[in-house]
């Protein structure tokens, strides 16, 4: 099967590109040919080549909002040549980009080309007060509506997102498929650990985007309570984002520099080394709709590294890990309940190895990228 996949991502500079890189690798392993269209904001080219992969990087103007505008104008014009040149069996893209594929979609119908168009939705369109967010989410909603009338199918990241989109946009459940986040278990392997965790100390780790609505401020405030009761607990926060400065400010206000440390983002290949130095992961996402329908990459990365995880009790976590021995669920994401959750984990630290290995077994059975590629392949074949 020949797949043309258009993603509005910079494979060099963007930190959240592992989904598309790893999914592409798994599709190639299943003997599919993939043409990946991405954007580029620098002169540097993506340096990894894979057999069966054709990569096209579109140069864009690296200034808001010109990045999106110049990318989509090129998609609008070049998509005709991509279709006629590579003759794909499937074209996959994301909301907003889908709008600019409408002309080429109509061309394929006129020429009677047997090409399936699939819209891939990774997040839920939610309205915000910010004008830019309102415009963006309106375009996402329009893209999903468009898919109902012009696309052959829609893929989503979780069953809960599938349910909501089908109800909100009256999509046909039979034409929606699910492929969730996954993990490369060879990259995120406990065999890569450079430090064996022993003793009375416990390092809790969060990695990813830093924002105020991810439960991180509450986790920092929980550390203020913990420091007076358990001296051996440390929180490592790896990443950057709009909430970084406020998080650092709160750490300074509470005099927690000894107990909470920040680390700049690292390349995807380096993340396992940092997870190896931690004892347990934490994902304190609050009970908000955008998180309820999510599938956090970091969850499977911790588990694949045989690390237990402290989790908020939202559907995105409970529906996946309910009954998993590696999961320690919080009662809520209040600072008090996060503190109790961390203290509960500390009391069980001698069991972390056994808990973590069972978590890795769980991931290997259900949430590798290879298994998600198989899910996508099965869905496409049914269309």
The backbone torsions φ and ψ at residue 360, rounded to the nearest 5 degrees and listed phi first, read -65, -40
H/E segment holding residue 83: helix 66-86
The string of pLDDT tens digits covering residues 239-272 is: 999 899 999 999 999 999 999 999 999 989 999 9
pLDDT band at 195 (very low <50, low <70, confident <90, very high): very low
CA-closest candidate to residue 120, choices 23, 221, 244: 23
pLDDT at residue 15 greater than cutoff 80: no
The string of pLDDT tens digits covering residues 52-98 is: 899 999 999 998 889 999 999 999 999 999 999 989 999 999 999 99
The residue assigned the tokens 């927690």 is 256
Measured at the alpha carbon of residue 88, what is the angle toward residues 87 and 91, in degrees to the nearest 5?
A: 135
- Domains of the chain and any CATH numbers: 2-182+368-382 (3.40.50.2000), 190-366 (3.40.50.2000)
Provide the mean pLDDT of the chain: 92
Euclidean distance between CA atoms 311 and 341, whole angstroms: 9
Q: What percent of the chain has pLDDT over 90?
A: 84
pLDDT at residue 226 greater than cutoff 50: yes
β-pairing, 90-93 vs 2-10, is parallel
Euclidean distance between CA atoms 141 and 263, whole angstroms: 36
Euclidean distance between CA atoms 344 and 346, whole angstroms: 5
pLDDT at residue 49 greater than cutoff 80: no
Euclidean distance between CA atoms 24 and 35, whole angstroms: 9
Taking only Cα atoms into account, the Rg of the chain, rounded to an integer number of angstroms, comes to 22
pLDDT at residue 217 greater than cutoff 80: yes
């Amino acid at each position: 099967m020949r797949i043309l996949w258009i993603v509005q991502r910079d494979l060099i500079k963007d930190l959240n590109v592992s989904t598309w890189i790893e999914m592409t690798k798994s599709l190639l392993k299943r003997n599919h040919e993939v043409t990946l269209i991405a954007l580029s904001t620098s002169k540097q080219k993506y340096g990894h080549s894979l057999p069966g992969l054709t990569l096209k990087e579109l140069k864009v103007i690296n200034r808001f909002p010109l990045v999106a505008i110049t990318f989509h104008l090129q998609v609008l014009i070049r998509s005709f040549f991509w279709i006629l040149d590579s003759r794909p069996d499937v074209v996959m893209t994301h909301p907003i980009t889908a709008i600019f594929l409408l002309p080429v979609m109509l061309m394929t119908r006129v020429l009677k080309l047997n090409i399936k168009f699939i819209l891939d939705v990774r997040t839920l369109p939610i309205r915000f007060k910010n004008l830019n967010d309102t415009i963006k989410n309106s375009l996402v909603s329009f893209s999903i509506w468009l898919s109902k009338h012009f696309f052959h199918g829609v893929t989503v990241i979780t069953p809960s997102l599938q349910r909501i989109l089908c109800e909100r946009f009256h999509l046909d459940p039979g034409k929606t498929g699910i492929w969730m986040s996954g993990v490369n278990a060879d990259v995120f392997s406990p065999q890569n650990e450079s430090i064996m965790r022993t003793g009375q100390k416990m390092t809790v780790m969060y990695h990813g985007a830093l924002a105020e609505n991810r439960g991180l401020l509450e986790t920092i405030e929980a550390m203020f309570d913990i420091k007076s009761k358990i001296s051996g607990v440390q929180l490592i926060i790896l990443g950057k984002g709009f909430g970084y400065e406020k998080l650092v400010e709160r750490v300074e206000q509470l005099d927690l520099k000894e107990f909470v440390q920040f680390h700049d983002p690292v390349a995807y290949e380096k993340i396992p080394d940092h997870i190896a130095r931690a004892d347990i992961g934490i994902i304190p996402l609050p009970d908000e709709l955008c998180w309820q329908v999510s599938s956090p990459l970091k969850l499977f990365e911790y588990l694949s590294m045989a690390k237990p995880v402290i989790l908020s009790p939202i559907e995105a976590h409970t529906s996946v890990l309910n009954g998993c021995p590696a999961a320690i669920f919080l009662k809520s994401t209040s600072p008090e309940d996060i503190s109790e959750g961390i203290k509960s984990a500390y009391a069980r630290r001698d069991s972390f190895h056994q808990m973590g290995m069972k978590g890795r077994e769980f991931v290997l059975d259900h949430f590798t990228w290879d298994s998600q590629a198989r899910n996508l392949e099965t869905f496409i074949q049914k269309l």
